[in-house]
Structure 1
Amino acid sequence: MLALLVCAQGRVVSAETLIDAMWGERLGVRGGKNLQVLVHRLRKNLDDPGRIRHDRSGYALAAGPEEVDAWQFADLAERARTALESADLETAAALQREALALWHGRPFAGLDDVAVLAEAAERLEQERKRVLAERIDADLALGGHAEIIPELISLVAADPLAESMGARLMLALHRAGRRTEALDAYRRIRAALAEELGLEPGPQLRSLEQAVLRGDPHASLDSTARGRPAEDRQPAAPPEPPCMLPPRVGDLTGRDGEIGGIVEVLRGRPPGTPAICAVSGMPGVGKTALAVQVGHDVRDGFPDGQLYVNLRGAGPEPVGPSQALGRFLRALGTPGTAIPDGLDERAEAFRARLSGRRVLVLLDDAADEAQVEPLLPPGDGCAVLITSRAALTALPGARRLVLQVLGPSASVELLDAITGRAELTTDAATAARLAELCGWLPLALRIAGARLAARPHWTVDRLISRLEAERDRLDELTHGTLSVRASLALGYSGLAERSQVLFRRLGLLEIPDFAGWVAAALLDDEPRDAEEVLEGLVEARLAEYAGMDDLGEPRYRIHDLVRLHARERGEADEPPGATAAALARLTGAYLHLAERAHRRQYGGDYTVLHGAAPRWDCGEPTAIRLLADPGGWLRSERLGLVAAVEQAARLGLSETCWDLAMTTITLFEAQGLFDDWRHTSQVALDTARRAGDARGEAAMRYSLGTLELFRQHYTAARPHLDAALTLFEAVNDHHGQALTLRNAALIERVEGRSGTALRGYRHALRMLRETGDRHAEAHVLGGIAQIHIEGDRPDAAARLLETALAVYRDLGNTRGGAQILNRLGALHLSQGAAGKAEDAFRQVLAASQAVGDLIGETYGLLGIGEALLLVRDLDGAAERLEHALATATELGEPFLTARAHLAGGRLAAARGDPDLAGTLLDTAAVAFAEIGLPVWHERARAELRAVEEARPFLPS
């Protein structure tokens, strides 16, 4: 309750609002009484009854700005903004630092299940990012570029897709004289954008790259100068009417390519047939404005007239073709008494009037082919331009164009043209943010621009802050007769009931794109039938095709503003409980598919724990098709899996949440997706704790401990594993105990306590054999074998490794087999059998590449390099070791990176370069010490000593 009152910033909050936020409809008539009790307790805890004021309107928190950190932050941010407007950068930066120092983690942490507070937290977070960006800009302007580089590196590492922060890092490095690093930063950002979003960097980053390449001392964050639209050509006056075209839009921007393509189609009409071009696109994308512009541009090619009709196809009452023909015939000079009554007769009269003439017919907002076909002219010199939300694919002879939203730079250009605001030309980041919040949708951009033009006292930042509240965004994107909501509602009203249901539920998705089977889960329907409904939304331009994934499956997406409207319709139209049920099916479907993907990779439910959460089965044919390549499925559904864990958490579905997080561990680990692993496990851990789910809490403590092991953070892993073991023992889960004991033994082994490790492994092995986890059993055998390798007992190690390899091959587990082969390769190396070692490591490399295991691939490269080094193939060794080092560094794998440095030091020594060898070996030794690996640390120090001892005997 205190948090809700803090959000109100001293304003009165009604009792009804507080009850609804905290309990919804669960308390009924008891809500008022419970609220009074809560107010009493809060006043007591605050030790000052006067802090909570009450009147007829509701409750308010009585406090000064300096007493509430969120209020103090807002006050400091506003004062900083005032200082910026006065060009007092030093004061602004100081105030911003003071404001940012108030932050400690996420606002209202632990209260994410309260919708109002979750939204407020997001607003505060966005404001923090804005203040941080402005403070960095102030520091740059004050010449503090060198000092803020470390901070910028951390910010970009945390969010590599944030182009604006990447641009600031590039600029700071450039101004500090570190041009090479600036260009490296650009390449990393570009690679991240390409991999995650399939996008190229925006104009700001590209402009900065060029400035850095030129060595431009005046480089800044401003985008390259934007050109203005060319002056509208004066259309040739038609020799005679009619000209029914609406006036052109004078500030149309970013459509030169589309205009040129349509003009070419309309002017290049083949003899005997009319040229037909159909432009489709989502609501608000600017189809009409584009078509009207083209119509005016080609008027000189159609001197006998230009006809226009708005067919209102997206609405509930489209204009009938007979009615449209009547208008056309009158415009062409046919007296009303001579216009036939029937549709066919009117169509014949229309074609007769146009025979031998050169007329352009613009049919705006067509519903379907049946509405359009009677309106098509004969072929003698006429052309037809059609706009429609549907693609009109069955219209014969038509050239089709799907109009997309504007690009970021064209969106800013349109805003600039509408408003004339200096802020939009001088502050590229602000302009880009406003355009992004409008979804680069021309209608939304026009509304935002019109609001700024109508309210010159508003800053651009003020409109941005209002738009950033998703719940209010469609309210803000309304101005006069223009409304994004109204445009979308028109399309929604024309959908069939089943399509409306799916549209509403697609608004629940929190991922950039999705597969067709998602529609089946949301509708609780067969995939084939559900995908037909989804394709209907694509045809209505309320969803769109987003490309093919790695499996050759189509992906879909919905525009951000469409998603907000879908959520609104869901809140208004969905029956009670339907939304929660749809999300439960969706998370259950992700769990079902993730479980099957794990089984395919591991040969069964091995090294994983499951709960009793319900699954949603999308059907055997769909599952087989999707999971033919489990790694490819993960690459396609990675964001969906993360979002499913988060949504299960918000629904309070603890078992679904932790089971899904647990099942995805092996999938995330195989592709080095450690951030996703950590995030989903932490979300599930918090959910299990709130639900009092001890087994779920144990599973997630095990998961986080295992993650720390993979990251070679052994000290951090131990508390998680200790807690997991205690919890598993409390719930009598022998499988969970065995898996935890196995990983605890690994810590003992790598830290040099081989006796303790061996006892732990053997204890785990007994329990794993009881529970039937053959995969984990083979993994333990590999761990015991490693102890024998390090204890110079090669024969015992070899027997265990061959047994483990046979288990993995029997399970069909390619990746597990590759891990054992890696150990066999290491054993062969220790015995000087370079040929056998190289063969084993080549098998590791091939197997890892087959399953997309980048970490395994790095081990294979490293092992081949070491085997070649053993036989003095120095060039071959160098090639593999350099590749291994690059991959290990990219993956952020400290142990592999240190191993690659160690091998590289040996290679440098073999080449007679003691200086390089010493540097690499010392780097490896330090890294092994930081990780906490004494055995490896001593190996590196021994190699380093050998290099130093040999130095006097090397040629000078």
Structure 2
Amino acid sequence: MRFQVIGAVSISDGDVAVPLTSPRQEQLLCLLVCSRGRTMPAEALTDALWGGRRAGRPGKNLQVLVHRLRRTLGDPGRIRHDRSGYSLVATADEVDAWLFDDLAERGRRALDRGDLEVAATLLAEALALGDGPAYPGLHDIPQLAHAAERIEQERRQVLAARLDAELALGRHIQMIPELVALLAADPLVESSAARLMTALHRAGRRAEALDVYQRTRAVLAGELGVEPGPSLRALHAALLRGEEIPSPAAASPGGEPAEAGEVPEAGKAREAEREAGNAGEARPTDDRAPEEPAQAPALLPPPIGDMTGRDAELGEVIAALARPPVVCVLSGMAGVGKTALAVQAAHALRDSFPGGQLFVNLQGAGGEPVTPHQALGRFLRALGVAGPAVPEGVDERAEVFRGLLSHRRVLVVLDDAADEEQVQPLLPAGDGCAVLITSRGRLTALPAARGVPLGLLDSGAAVELLRAVSGRAEFRRGHPPAEELAALCGRLPLALRIAGARLAARPHWSVPRLVSRLAAEHDRLDELTHGPLSVRAGLALGYSGLAEVPRTLFRRLGLIETPDFAGWVAAALLDSGTRPAEDALESLVEAQLVGYAGVDGVGEPRYRMHDLVRLHAKERAAADDPPGAAEAALGRLAGAYLALAEEAHRREYGGDYTVLHGPGRRWRPDPATADRLLADPGGWLRGERLGLVAAVGQAAAAGLHEVAWDLAMSAVTLFEAQGHFDDWARTARTALDAARRAGDLRGVAAMRYSQGTLEIFRQRYAAARPHFEAALQGFTSVGDRHGQALTLRNSALIERVEGRLESALAAYRRALGMLREVGDRHAEAHVLGSIAQIHVERGDGGEAEPLLRTALRVYRELGDPRGTAQILNRLGGLHLAEGRPADAGRAFQEVLTTARAVGDRIGEAYGLLGLGEAALLDGGLDQAAAHLDAATALAVGLGEPFVAARACLARGRLAAESGEHERAAALLGQAAARFDEIGLPAWHARAVEARRAAEGLASRP
């Protein structure tokens, strides 16, 4: 359970909101929260809650209020009572105000001991717990007003500490936007101005830092008539002298953070050295020879002036390289802007490396990368070694290179590195040198290398880059044509530059014209070419550098139509074992042709392909694959989805029950992989929902009609439990069309049965009937007894809900005989439960209970928690009908617990509904209201009208019990209308009868 008092007052139990039923309950809860688990005397509580307005028996009023709050929480032990008073029983993780205090304290301790990264993280987590004042709307209670003010003061201190930790970590560029906003919010806070000045100065924006001082000084003079304080003046003076300014929180472990502009003792010593020597360059402090200024190579390409959206990454690279010796690896896919960022950072650091800047394009992504031998030869000549003096062997060249750089401050930029082996001989050994590497791979085997991954631009930065390159002034954030163009370019900087350059070269082109040209996938890579710039060329280099198996997998991955995919699909596409497929996939990840997308619900890594990379994969498949290869790979992929979905259903239901399978070809992963994936079958189905839907469509389009309808039916296990009715409808319709085209009568019947079942779940009983009639006719024509039995079972349900109980009973008994004949124990248990329900509706609980107990035993033997929950729900209904609310409540609680454990959201709605009805029967009106409200919210969200209608009926009865007869009549009228809309005459009659009774009571004087 979670208690929130910062920004808003609320309670939640998991994903379910627990509504407080009165303002007094909210006040009492907040008073207990602000005492932080300590006992609050009863007298203090009554004074705070009622003050001078206390009733004659304040102690009794408090007891009643505590009792009601306990019922709201659903756990009496949450509020402890002893002789002294009351306290809230909770952990710090459950109460946001308590967690805020704990995180703040842990963050400060980390800051004191110099653990800046941990401090920044903890303090940021504390600040993220809520926005706005604590205990909002309750500040008329002094205790809560004081507690809210304390938290607000604490937030300001935590914010200051977090900013100082971030700046001490060298994140000056990243922090600038936040510091600008902070100072704008309160221009009189000198510490905010000091932090912003420090960040701007450390980011190389000294003039802007000085401007911040002048503006702050003017505001202080105008508003308060005072000059800036000594710390801010000292910082200003240091900036004017060009001194290196330490970050505001650069304190020694256990010490206090230094004031902005204050130079620690060690810094003063370094300052003295700078005064005595070259400006900005410390004198040597050991026996090394000074730098030789004669040969200071400057091999950097010119920087790109319109680089956009990379402030954070640029700041991270600059911060890393400013502390040599260091190796920094900038990684990312082709076209993401690695080289541009590396060159920008290198130019920003030129003054920090007076020994020179070396640069080489290693061409590692292509088929003929530059060898270390060649790169070292170029470096040695740039460092002044005459051609004849350059050694022949690579080891000797590396030794001379390291010797020349041993006493220099040199920045080495190795662009487009292939792997660690290529760059290892090119790494200098001098303490003053830094190395910046760009690579599609992360090069994690380089010891102590700092990795900076470079991703796609966000939407706003992508539009800004388009504006900068194209010169189109109308491009701005929120401009629909520009955002559409950025999306078609996949927010890839190279593609954006090309699109912007094409618009700049063709001022007569409208943006929609270029958008329409890019919209056609088969032409998009052709359109993303301008002069020497080409997205396709960059991708082709990466492809050409792959081994044969990864190349094949790359082409096959172009078949996938989902945003991301699990690693197991690689084995199906390659028709190989798991290990070689994983190795091939990881090769694509290292080449940045495939990205890592996170971990799914069962712990499996998921991957993704950029849209433009996927288009290139399709191009390569069309050019390089033999005829039929793509079709065969697609068949294996769909077959793998079918095999795994079939096994997931089998594990969920205890066997091949309540489902029909066809002869479509399966592709089965090795048993160990299948067991790992399906350890949580429901979790696997949830994680693969988009893949299952896409596989049905692709199988149908490829003429694999038997795979399509079988997979569509197997996926109902997921669609039914999670309420994905749109996916259910789409896959059934797609597979039905494919079966009809192929003349597959059994497939047509299976999909008509599935469509009818979907209509039952949507409570559209009249719409379901023709589907079942067609399905029964189809199954009968092909002699499928199992299909006939399942169809009869669901047809009987329509008869029952429409009040034709004898007809329903006859259909159920006919289906029961067939199900026993084919051995479908799961469906048999379901029919037993349905027959029992008819007996319940007739008022014959003695006939119903044995049938329910038998069905319950079968489901438990099968290990089917969802079936078990469904029978328990019926048992709960029987107990309600017999006036046994305690037994009913226990049954419905087990329904709720089971449904939540297996992720059955519809079952969860039924459990909440049953608990509400049981509490209503038992007289627990507050508890009933809470459960019924939760059931209504969940049912509406899932599109489950029957539960919503029954909850409305129960809420009407609840209002009647509370004496609110007019409100009761209105709610019962709404329930009657809903039952009528669904087509449930028996339930409609109950609601109408209850409404009339409520109206009669409301009309009494």
Interval containing the TM-score (normalised by the shorter chain): 0.7 to 0.9
Identity rate, percent? 66
- Residue 843, structure 1, aligned to residue 894, structure 2: yes
Q: Counterpart amino acid of 1:519?
A: A
- Residue 561, structure 1, aligned to residue 616, structure 2: no
Give the drift of 1:953. Answer: 5.2
What whole-Å deviation, never above 9, does each CA across 1:328-377 have from its counterpart, x for those lacking one? 11111111122111111111111111121111000000111111111111
Question: Do 2:408 and 2:430's aligned partners in 1 also have CA atoms closer than 8 Å?
Answer: no
Give the drift of 1:666. Answer: 2.0
Equivalent position of 1:312 in the other structure? 363
Which whole-Å CA distance do the structure 2 matches of 1:565 and 1:233 have between them? 45
Q: Counterpart amino acid of 2:360?
A: V
The total of aligned residue pairs comes to: 721
- Residue 536, structure 1, aligned to residue 591, structure 2: no
Question: Do 1:315 and 1:494's aligned partners in 2 also have CA atoms closer than 8 Å?
Answer: yes
Question: Do 1:745 and 1:760's aligned partners in 2 also have CA atoms closer than 8 Å?
Answer: yes
1:278 aligns to what SS in structure 2? strand
Give the alignment partner of residue 443 of structure 1, picking from 486, 494, 508: 494
Which whole-Å CA distance do the structure 1 matches of 2:786 and 2:745 have between them? 15
The two structures, once aligned, show a CA RMSD in angstroms of: 1.7
Question: Do 1:233 and 1:297's aligned partners in 2 also have CA atoms closer than 8 Å?
Answer: no
What whole-Å deviation, never above 9, does each CA across 1:137-172 have from its counterpart, x for those lacking one? xxxxxxxxxxxxxxxxxxxxxxxxxxxxxxxxxxxx
1:885 aligns to what SS in structure 2? helix
Q: Residues 807 and 426 from structure 1, CA distance in 2 versus in 1: closer, same or farther, beyond 3 angstroms?
A: closer
Equivalent position of 2:971 in the other structure? 920
Equivalent position of 1:628 in the other structure? 679
Equivalent position of 1:830 in the other structure? 881
- Residue 266, structure 1, aligned to residue 321, structure 2: yes
1:875 aligns to what SS in structure 2? helix
Give the alignment partner of residue 983 of structure 2, picking from 922, 925, 932: 932
Which whole-Å CA distance do the structure 1 matches of 2:417 and 2:868 have between them? 60
Which whole-Å CA distance do the structure 2 matches of 1:594 and 1:804 have between them? 26
Which whole-Å CA distance do the structure 1 matches of 2:490 and 2:1002 have between them? 64
Question: Do 2:470 and 2:501's aligned partners in 1 also have CA atoms closer than 8 Å?
Answer: yes
Question: Do 2:464 and 2:477's aligned partners in 1 also have CA atoms closer than 8 Å?
Answer: no
Question: Do 2:567 and 2:605's aligned partners in 1 also have CA atoms closer than 8 Å?
Answer: yes
Equivalent position of 1:885 in the other structure? 936
Which whole-Å CA distance do the structure 2 matches of 1:627 and 1:319 have between them? 46
Equivalent position of 2:303 in the other structure? 248
Which whole-Å CA distance do the structure 2 matches of 1:357 and 1:883 have between them? 70
What whole-Å deviation, never above 9, does each CA across 1:639-693 have from its counterpart, x for those lacking one? 0001110110111011001000011112210111111111110000000000000
Aligned pairs for 1:839-878 within 5 A = 839-878=890-929
2:476 aligns to what SS in structure 1? helix
After the TM superposition, which segments of 4 or more aligned residues of structure 1 sit over 4 Å from their partners? 230-240
- Residue 681, structure 1, aligned to residue 719, structure 2: no
Which whole-Å CA distance do the structure 2 matches of 1:806 and 1:726 have between them? 33
Equivalent position of 1:361 in the other structure? 412
Q: Counterpart amino acid of 1:812?
A: G
1:525 aligns to what SS in structure 2? coil
1:384 aligns to what SS in structure 2? strand
Which whole-Å CA distance do the structure 2 matches of 1:263 and 1:887 have between them? 50
- Residue 376, structure 1, aligned to residue 424, structure 2: no
1:848 aligns to what SS in structure 2? helix
Give the alignment partner of residue 451 of structure 2, picking from 379, 400, 403: 400
- Residue 478, structure 1, aligned to residue 550, structure 2: no
Aligned pairs for 1:281-296 within 5 A = 281-296=332-347
Which whole-Å CA distance do the structure 2 matches of 1:628 and 1:945 have between them? 53
Aligned pairs for 1:342-741 within 5 A = 342-425=393-476, 428-741=479-792
Which whole-Å CA distance do the structure 2 matches of 1:378 and 1:665 have between them? 62
Q: Counterpart amino acid of 1:601?
A: E
Equivalent position of 1:802 in the other structure? 853
Give the drift of 1:919. Answer: 2.1
Which whole-Å CA distance do the structure 2 matches of 1:295 and 1:431 have between them? 31
Kindly name which structure, 1 or 2, has the bigger radius of gyration based on alpha carbons: 2
- Residue 766, structure 1, aligned to residue 817, structure 2: yes
Question: Do 2:549 and 2:584's aligned partners in 1 also have CA atoms closer than 8 Å?
Answer: yes
Give the drift of 1:951. Answer: 2.1
Equivalent position of 1:338 in the other structure? 389
Q: Counterpart amino acid of 1:700?
A: M
Which whole-Å CA distance do the structure 2 matches of 1:562 and 1:232 have between them? 38
Question: Do 2:797 and 2:808's aligned partners in 1 also have CA atoms closer than 8 Å?
Answer: yes
1:386 aligns to what SS in structure 2? strand
1:769 aligns to what SS in structure 2? helix
Q: Counterpart amino acid of 1:251?
A: D
Give the drift of 1:275. Answer: 0.9
Structure 2 residue runs without a partner (length 5+): 1-202, 208-241, 243-278, 282-292
Which whole-Å CA distance do the structure 1 matches of 2:898 and 2:316 have between them? 49
Question: Do 2:460 and 2:477's aligned partners in 1 also have CA atoms closer than 8 Å?
Answer: no
Deviates more, 1:498-507 or 1:630-639: 630-639
Give the drift of 1:781. Answer: 1.1
- Residue 750, structure 1, aligned to residue 801, structure 2: yes
Which whole-Å CA distance do the structure 2 matches of 1:296 and 1:237 have between them? 16
Question: Do 2:411 and 2:433's aligned partners in 1 also have CA atoms closer than 8 Å?
Answer: yes
Equivalent position of 1:173 in the other structure? none
2:981 aligns to what SS in structure 1? helix
Q: Counterpart amino acid of 2:317?
A: I
Question: Do 1:749 and 1:757's aligned partners in 2 also have CA atoms closer than 8 Å?
Answer: yes
Equivalent position of 1:225 in the other structure? none
What whole-Å deviation, never above 9, does each CA across 1:846-883 have from its counterpart, x for those lacking one? 11111110000111111011111111111111111111
Aligned pairs for 1:129-144 within 5 A = none
Equivalent position of 1:167 in the other structure? none
Deviates more, 1:665-674 or 1:827-836: 665-674
Question: Do 2:463 and 2:477's aligned partners in 1 also have CA atoms closer than 8 Å?
Answer: no
Give the drift of 1:952. Answer: 4.5
Aligned pairs for 1:33-112 within 5 A = none
Deviates more, 1:237-246 or 1:368-377: 237-246
Which whole-Å CA distance do the structure 2 matches of 1:913 and 1:327 have between them? 90
Q: Counterpart amino acid of 2:672?
A: P
TM-score (norm 1): 0.74
- Residue 787, structure 1, aligned to residue 838, structure 2: yes
Which whole-Å CA distance do the structure 1 matches of 2:617 and 2:710 have between them? 29
1:425 aligns to what SS in structure 2? coil
Give the drift of 1:423. Answer: 3.9
What whole-Å deviation, never above 9, does each CA across 1:725-776 have from its counterpart, x for those lacking one? 1111111111101111111111111111111111111111111111111111
Deviates more, 1:317-326 or 1:925-934: 317-326
Equivalent position of 2:327 in the other structure? 276
Which whole-Å CA distance do the structure 2 matches of 1:786 and 1:715 have between them? 21
Which whole-Å CA distance do the structure 1 matches of 2:570 and 2:729 have between them? 28
Which whole-Å CA distance do the structure 2 matches of 1:858 and 1:379 have between them? 67
Aligned pairs for 1:803-822 within 5 A = 803-822=854-873
Equivalent position of 1:321 in the other structure? 372
Which whole-Å CA distance do the structure 2 matches of 1:373 and 1:811 have between them? 60
1:409 aligns to what SS in structure 2? helix
Which whole-Å CA distance do the structure 2 matches of 1:603 and 1:355 have between them? 70
Give the drift of 1:923. Answer: 1.1
Question: Do 1:606 and 1:775's aligned partners in 2 also have CA atoms closer than 8 Å?
Answer: yes
1:424 aligns to what SS in structure 2? coil
